[in-house]
Amino acid sequence: MSFLRKMFSGKVSAEDPRRFVVEAMLGAMEADGDVTEEEMATLESNLGGHAMFEGLSGEELGRLVDQAADAIRTGGGGRNRLPAIAAGLPSRNQRLAAYAMACEICVADRQLAESEIEFLDGLQKELALEEGEAKELFEGARAHSGLMTLEERSSHVRELLPAFVQCMAMMAAADEEVHHEERIGMRAVLANIPDMAVLTAAELDEAIDVALERIAGKDLSSELAGVANEITKPSDRYWTAVYVMIVALADGKSDWREVEFLESLKITFDLTENQMDVAMKTAAQFPAVDLGGHAPS
């Protein structure tokens, strides 16, 4: 089973993330006020051929489309639904999929209206996608290989998972105390982040143990600088901040050393204040994680 099928598996529900992926496509279709045959064909091709929709019956696919269409209609159009679409897609890979498919819809008829550009720009902003990452997906869609580009990027993300986990371990250890309960808490957080669905439970436990053992007694600033040499792309660095902030929020406690670590992360990864603010907002949107507190301040 592919990581996309793991991430999107299960029957259709009102909060199924696939519904919001479909909303992104339908919003792209109605952006210029003219639904073309090419756009319809692209929608049907994605619904019938993409791994995330595999295993769904025609009735279930129809229900996804109906739910998405109703939301757009009652919301007053696709652009008005962009914040809700982003909130329904908290995972990086979910957001990449939605943006890539929306791009495919917009370029399907070989024309790109100003209203479609505005829709894609709004979608990119709400999904908090880095400029280079969004451009790569758009160019892939324009070359009729957007989904291949998404698969390639997802493979790249899987390769970086150990570095992501190491940064989260540093966040957990920022207050210089890593207890058994904190390991359990970190495991619970990671297990509920959709992007981590590529790991089995055993692999997840091993990744956490290795990461915590690696940083034990180490200077976190030096360790963070080492990770920065592995995570070099701006988009990857941004999502590292998101994952770290999920851990920061999960225990419901604030500690000055946690604030210090986040500031060190910002400087080492060359992130702006705005990126850190957006990352915290994105971290707080993960519905499967019981957020016990507020952002450290």
The 10s digit of each residue's pLDDT in 33-72 is 888 899 999 999 989 888 888 888 888 899 999 999 999 9
Write down the number of H helices and E strands in the chain: 15, 0
Structural domain includes residue 149: no
Shared-domain flag, residues 138 and 15: yes
Shared-domain flag, residues 132 and 29: yes
Write down which residue in 144, 169, 192 finishes a domain: 144
The pLDDT score that the predictor gives to residue 14 is 63
Shared-domain flag, residues 100 and 176: no
> Which residue range forms the structural domain that includes residue 188?
156-283
Say what percent of the chain tops pLDDT 70: 82
Are the CB atoms for 58 and 12 separated by under 8 Å? no
Shared-domain flag, residues 125 and 189: no
Structural domain includes residue 297: no
Shared-domain flag, residues 231 and 194: yes
Reported as a single tens digit per residue, the pLDDT across 103-112 is 999 999 888 8
pLDDT band of residue 251 (cuts 50, 70, 90) is low
Q: What pTM does this model have?
A: 0.75
Average pLDDT over residues 156-168: 84
Are the CB atoms for 39 and 47 separated by under 8 Å? no
Angle at 232 between CA 231 and CA 237, to 5 degrees: 65
Report which residue type is found at 221: S
Structural domain includes residue 296: no
pLDDT band of residue 291 (cuts 50, 70, 90) is very low
Shared-domain flag, residues 116 and 37: yes
Shared-domain flag, residues 125 and 175: no
**For the domain that residue 262 is a member of, what is the CATH number?**
1.10.3680
Structural domain includes residue 237: yes
The pLDDT score that the predictor gives to residue 232 is 93
Count how many domains the chain has: 2
Angle between helices 201-215 and 220-230 (to 10 degrees): 130
Write down which residue in 144, 177, 198 finishes a domain: 144
pLDDT band of residue 114 (cuts 50, 70, 90) is very high
Residues 194 and 196: their CA atoms lie apart, in Å, by 5
Write down which residue in 118, 144, 170 finishes a domain: 144
The pLDDT score that the predictor gives to residue 109 is 84
Average pLDDT over residues 150-156: 72
Residues 264 and 43: their CA atoms lie apart, in Å, by 44
Structural domain includes residue 289: no
- Residue 289 DSSP symbol: S
Shared-domain flag, residues 194 and 109: no
